[in-house]
Amino acid sequence: MSDTQKPAERSLLETGTLVEFRVVESHLELGPDPEQFGIRVELMFEGDDDGADPAEIAEWGAFGFLFALAALSFHDARPRGASELEFHPHDAFTVADFFECLSFGAGGLHLQADYIRGRRMKTTVTVRPDGTVTLATLGRGRSALRWLDQLQGKQWIAAVPSGVD
C-alpha cells in the first residue's frame, strides 16, 4: 500500500510507535472519589544513540505519539453513567476525534480527551518542544503505564506453564 493510499490513522500509529522515550517520573493522583485515582507520568523522548536530540524527535514524532496514546486510551476506556447509551464496543479512535482533542499553546502540543462517543477517557497529554512529555489520567487507575509499556513493545500477559513438577 502506498503512502497516499494508507489511512491517516495507520500512518500516525506507525509514527507513534517509532518514538522512543523513557519514563522520568510517575505518581498516583487521587480524584474526588478515592476509588477514582489516576496517574501522572513525566516522559522524555530519546533516540537509539546518546546524541539523539529530544527536540528533534518531538518535531517528527509528536503527532504520532499523541495519536497512539489517545488510541490506546480510547480502546481501554469504558462508559460511565449515562454515557453508556453512546458506547459501541468495536468503535475506534479516528483522526477527526484526534483533531477535536488537539490544541497548541502554553508551551506545547496538547491532547485533552474527556468523553468521546460514550467512552470516559479522562486523558491529557502535553508534548513540549524540548521533547518532554506529561501524560495524566483521572479515574483510569494505572492503565496509562500499560499503554506506555505497549508502545515500548513490552508484554503484560505471559503464558502459564502447562506442566507441574
- What are 124's strand-pairing partners? 112, 136
State residue 31's pLDDT score: 73
pLDDT band at 1 (very low <50, low <70, confident <90, very high): low
- Distance (Å, rounded) from C-alpha 153 to C-alpha 147? 10
pLDDT in tens, 89-131: 889 999 999 999 999 998 899 999 999 999 999 999 999 999 9
What is d(CA 92, CA 95) in angstroms, rounded to the nearest whole number? 10
Question: What is the reported pTM?
Answer: 0.87
The ranges assigned to domains in the chain are: 8-151
Q: 98 CB contacts (<8 Å, ≥6 apart)?
A: 12, 66, 67, 70, 111
Residue 102's H or E segment, with its range, is strand 102-105
% of the chain residues with pLDDT over 70? 91
Q: Would you state the pLDDT for residue 4?
A: 66
Report which of residues 159 and 28 the model is more confident about: 28
Query: In 28-51, which positions are buried (b, 16+ CB within 10 angstroms) versus exposed (e)?
Result: eeeeeeeeebbbbbebbbbeeeee
Judge whether residue 18 has pLDDT over 60. yes
pLDDT in tens, 47-66: 877 778 999 999 999 999 99
